[in-house]
Amino acid sequence: MENWLTKRSRLTPNRVAVTYQDKELTFLEVNQQALRVAGRIAAIGDKNDKIAVIMTNNLSGYLVIMALQQLGQTIVFINRRLSVDEVNYQLQDAGVTLLLTDDAYDGVLAVNRQLKFSSLPEGKKIQPMAEFPDEFVTSIMYTSGTSNRPKGVMQTFHNHFMSAVGSALNLGVTAEDSWLAVVPIFHISGFSILMRSLIYGMHVILIDKFDAEKINHMLVHDTITTMSVVPVMLQQLVGQLSEHANYNRQFRAMLLGGGPTNRITLEKAQSHQIPIIQSYGMTETASQVVALDAASITTKLGSVGKPLFPVSVEIRNTQGQPATTGNIWIKTPTLTVGYLNNSQQLSNNIVDGWFNTEDFGYFDADGFLYIQGREGDMISSGGENIFPDEVESAYANMPGLDAIVVFGVADDKWGSVPVAVVSDTHVSARQLRQFGREKLAHYKVPQHFYVAKQWYRTASGKVQRRYFAADVPELEELQ
């Protein structure tokens, strides 16, 4: 297809493309400034086809992304919250020689050349890519590494385009849409907003730091129509919103991804007339592939919905045979073309074009999908399968408990048993067990409760169970 930015700047040159703080740019201005930034990057003379980027959601980073696409470079997105050692692993794995960072990033990394956005040299005039080839890998994002070493997921222009099509058919699109982007751009939920903006001609408002009070004020008083959130963001937004406050009349979709949230949060959102669209997707599928329309949120609370139009979903066992409850297998044009430097990894999870997500779930009688948890998270205890997400959801309604994470530990008798780490809490282990036994089968109730010394989440808000499990020997056990 024709270069998306070039085409969009011709179709709607005067429409506002992006706003950051008090600065806004039209699509024509974005195109002009992106070409200037592209010339500055080209002047560096790096011959590598991949360039790494570390950034927050700011205008400089946005323009660097657009510039790299004009140059035909593959963007390697790096999570700026990672440690130096973690970043160095990804830089080495990607084989990049140039890293561009926002001005606030101060880590010194093992790469041939590391430059801040403001330190780019004087530029030269460049000729942008005339077309974006469907199978060109425009972005690489490393999986969050909740269970093992992060893998570089390669995403093509075709992946992003089909994801935008599926999203548009689900959410609907209007020329007046404004999408607030506070989820990190280095994560697929953030970057997909930028890609949709070019395809839809949609206005994006960039926010570099999540602040529930500030964002609620914007959603109440500005004409923002859409926002992407992860569960922890949604909980803070509805928790901070005053009792009788509602968002502006144009607001029509809070797209929730990155994992399940609890019933109390969803019910609070309903009381404020906030249309929540629960969704399911992954880095490997270039954002959501399943979504629950807002009209079904009451009757199908807890479901992630139905497959988007270009997507097929089936429940099968690990061998790919049909099952009532089991692995979630998908067939979608948004599926990654592979993992960087690991061509076999993707094919290991594919049978006849169907991809095993390694998530567990089931369809109800009406065809709505429910997620039980990750295959790697599942606890097999005395022949029973326990999903931590289910246990955590049950405890989400407990007064006095702010947060809980559940995982399995080895046990001589049962093979494995569930235990939990909780945030600093005013409830006792006895109260936690009693509450659990009222809501769950006895074997699902954690046998031990520990107080967290640190709360581990990925940039997308997902709990990192392996870090909690590693901390257990040093944690205080609740009595």
Percent of the chain with pLDDT over 70: 98
**How would you classify the pairing of strands 325-331 and 312-316?**
antiparallel
Tell me the pLDDT band of 295, cut-offs 50, 70 and 90: confident
Asked if the model's pLDDT at residue 461 lies above 70, the reply is no
- How confident is the prediction for the chain on average, in pLDDT? 92
pLDDT of 322 reads 93
Tell me the pLDDT band of 162, cut-offs 50, 70 and 90: very high
pLDDT for 409-446, tens place per residue? 988 888 889 999 999 778 999 999 999 998 888 889 99
Alpha helices (H) in 151-299, listed in sequence order: 157-171, 188-200, 212-221, 231-240, 263-271
**Do 68 and 51 touch, CB atoms closer than 8 A?**
yes
- The H or E element containing residue 373 is strand 369-374
Asked if the model's pLDDT at residue 341 lies above 90, the reply is yes
pLDDT for 257-284, tens place per residue? 877 677 788 889 989 999 999 999 999 9
Q: Does domain 379-477 have CATH number 3.30.300.30?
A: yes
pLDDT for 200-223, tens place per residue? 999 999 999 999 999 999 999 999
**Do 362 and 372 touch, CB atoms closer than 8 A?**
yes
Rounded Cα–Cα distance for residues 321 and 318 (Å): 7
Residue among 173, 182, 199, 188 nearest 287 (CA): 188
Within 10 Å of residue 332's Cβ, how many Cβ atoms?
Answer: 24
**How would you classify the pairing of strands 369-374 and 354-363?**
antiparallel
pLDDT of 302 reads 81
Give Cα 318 to chain centroid, integer Å: 25
371: tokens are 């997620």
Integer-rounded Cα radius of gyration of the chain: 23
Geometric angle at alpha carbon 246, from 243 and 248, rounded to 5°: 160
The CATH homologous superfamily for domain 159-374 is ANL, N-terminal domain (3.40.50.12780)
| Within this chain, domains 159-374 and 379-477 share the same CATH topology | no
Asked if the model's pLDDT at residue 146 lies above 50, the reply is no
Rounded Cα–Cα distance for residues 277 and 297 (Å): 8
Architecture of the domain defined by 4-132? 3-Layer(aba) Sandwich (3.40)
Asked if the model's pLDDT at residue 145 lies above 60, the reply is no
**Mean pLDDT across 223-239:** 92
pLDDT for 43-83, tens place per residue? 999 999 999 999 999 999 999 999 999 999 999 999 988 88
Q: Using the 8-state DSSP alphabet, how is residue 73 labeled?
A: P
Percent of the chain with pLDDT over 90: 72
pLDDT of 144 reads 62
Q: Where are the domains of the chain?
A: 4-132, 159-374, 379-477
Rounded Cα–Cα distance for residues 233 and 235 (Å): 5
**Mean pLDDT across 85-108:** 95
The residue assigned the tokens 């093979």 is: 415
229: tokens are 């959130």
DSSP 3-state assignment of 349? Answer: coil
DSSP secondary structure string for all residues of 115-179: EEGGGPPP-------SB--TT-EEEEEE---SSSS--EEEEEHHHHHHHHHHHHHHH---TT-EE
pLDDT for 116-139, tens place per residue? 999 999 998 999 999 999 999 999
DSSP secondary structure string for all residues of 384-416: EEE-HHHHHHHHTT-TT---EEEEEEEETTTEE
pLDDT of 459 reads 60
